[in-house]
Amino acid sequence: MGTEAVGRAIKPALVKARALCKRYVQRAPFSRKKFVIDALMDVDLEIALGCLTALVGESGSGKSTLASCLGILEKPDRGEIWFEGSKVSFANSRELTALRPKIQMVFQDSAGALNPRFSAAQIIEEPLEIQGRESGARLRARACELMEEVGLSPDAGNRSPLEFSGGQRQRLAIARALALKPTFLILDESLSGLDLATQAQILNLLLDLQTSHSLTYLLISHDLSLVGQVADFVAVMHHGKIVECGSRQQVFSAPQHAHTKELLASVGVVEAAFRTAQVGGGQ
């Protein structure tokens, strides 16, 4: 914990979550039976300013629910969220409108995350228009700037998002997220589903943008080898709880919780299986 304390001492927390709880209740039709899923149970998390914090865990462990709560897309049932030192959970709609541009999300499904009825440029223009940041010719000019910044040609501005490749769509989604000049970017499995080369390119882009825009990232992933390369801090989720949290070295080299050890061991197993498959395929 010593390294984490040092890290936290240097970098103040941009986002703090305290005792977050979120429960989903589903009722079967014409039945008294209820299905209760405790997606978040007393979750505490601090995300250090200017750092990349990774949230790892198996599917269904509550990562995306936590991301939605931190992105103020869902309200937690209980608990508090603090952003830049002020309490944002249960904020009123006017406060939320002012806050939303600062927190943006990039989703996993890039095809579903972009409005199929809009052109690429329109997709970037929309948040600017909604927030009244730009209008008229400046709107298109700003969209073109952002497209260039994420490595897309502004000439492609009139194309439909579905005409882009997966990697290009993810760049477009990043450009849209950057349009409102956020300070906190939540990457919800944003690199999953991309091939390794594209993944590396997008990751490099994100790291460059982190420096140029002073961004704080929350990277949600189940790819531990990826997290091992880029994260400053790592939080491990299991059954709606954060079971381990600390600096990357701390979590990777000296995991405390059994689930973290299991996850790390599984990476080894998968890699070994992959190597075996490669050898088998070569024969």
Partner 1 sequence: MKYLERRVIHGILLLIGVSVLCFLFSDLAPGSFFDEMKLNPQISSETVAALRSQYGLDKPLPVRYARWVESVLGGEWGYSFAYNSSVRSLLVVRARNTLLLTTLATLFSWLVAVPLGVWISNHPGKWYDRLSMGGTSLLLSVPELVLVFGLLYFAIRTHALPVGGMTSVGFDQLGLWGKTIDLVTHLIVPVTTLVLASLPVLVRHVRASMVEVLKLPFIQAARGHGIGPARLLFRYALPAAGNPLISLFGLSVAGLLSGSLLVEVITGWPGIGPLLLEASMSRDLYVVVGAVMSSTLFMVFGSLLADVMLVVVDPRIRVE
Give percent helix, percent strand, percent coil of the chain, each to the nearest 5. Answer: 45, 25, 30
Q: Per rule CB under 8 A, is residue 130 in the interface with partner 1?
A: yes
Contact status, residue 221 vs residue 189, Cβ threshold 8 Å? yes
Contact status, residue 187 vs residue 174, Cβ threshold 8 Å? no
Nearer to partner 1, 114 or 234 (CB): 114
Q: Per rule CB under 8 A, is residue 37 in the interface with partner 1?
A: no
Identify which range of 51-59, 159-167, 234-242, 255-263 contacts partner 1 by CB under 8 A: 159-167
Q: Which positions from 97 through 126 interact with partner 1, judged by CB under 8 A?
A: 97, 100-101, 103-105, 107-109, 112-117, 126
Q: Per rule CB under 8 A, is residue 77 in the interface with partner 1?
A: no
Number of residues counted as binding partner 1 (CB under 8 A): 31
Q: Per rule CB under 8 A, is residue 13 in the interface with partner 1?
A: no
Q: Which of 19, 73, 265, 277 binds partner 1 (CB under 8 A)?
A: 73
Q: Per rule CB under 8 A, is residue 23 in the interface with partner 1?
A: no
Closest contact distance (angstroms) between CB of 193 and partner 1 is: 13
Q: Per rule CB under 8 A, is residue 96 in the interface with partner 1?
A: yes
Contact status, residue 37 vs residue 24, Cβ threshold 8 Å? yes
Closest contact distance (angstroms) between CB of 160 and partner 1 is: 5
Distance CA 97, CA 266 (A): 42
- Cα dist. 225→3, 166, 265 in Å? 21, 21, 11
Distance CA 21, CA 44 (A): 10
Identify which range of 147-155, 158-166, 220-228, 231-239 contacts partner 1 by CB under 8 A: 158-166
Closest contact distance (angstroms) between CB of 264 and partner 1 is: 30
Maximal C-alpha separation, the chain: 64
Distance CA 250, CA 4 (A): 8
Looking at the chain, list the stretches that DSSP marks H as alpha helix, in order from N- to C-terminal side: 2-10, 63-70, 93-99, 110-113, 120-130, 137-149, 166-179, 196-213, 224-230, 248-253, 258-282
Radius of gyration of the chain (CA): 20
Distance CA 191, CA 199 (A): 6
Closest contact distance (angstroms) between CB of 241 and partner 1 is: 24
113, two tokens: 């995350």
Closest contact distance (angstroms) between CB of 212 and partner 1 is: 21
Nearer to partner 1, 124 or 251 (CB): 124
Identify which range of 1-9, 37-45, 95-103, 218-226 contacts partner 1 by CB under 8 A: 95-103
Distance CA 47, CA 83 (A): 10
Nearer to partner 1, 57 or 182 (CB): 182
Nearer to partner 1, 100 or 239 (CB): 100
Q: What are phi and psi of 118, to 5 degrees?
A: -105, 155
Distance CA 260, CA 254 (A): 10
Contact residues: partner 1, CB under 8 A: 68, 71-73, 96-97, 100-101, 103-105, 107-109, 112-117, 126-127, 130-131, 160, 162-163, 173, 176-177, 180
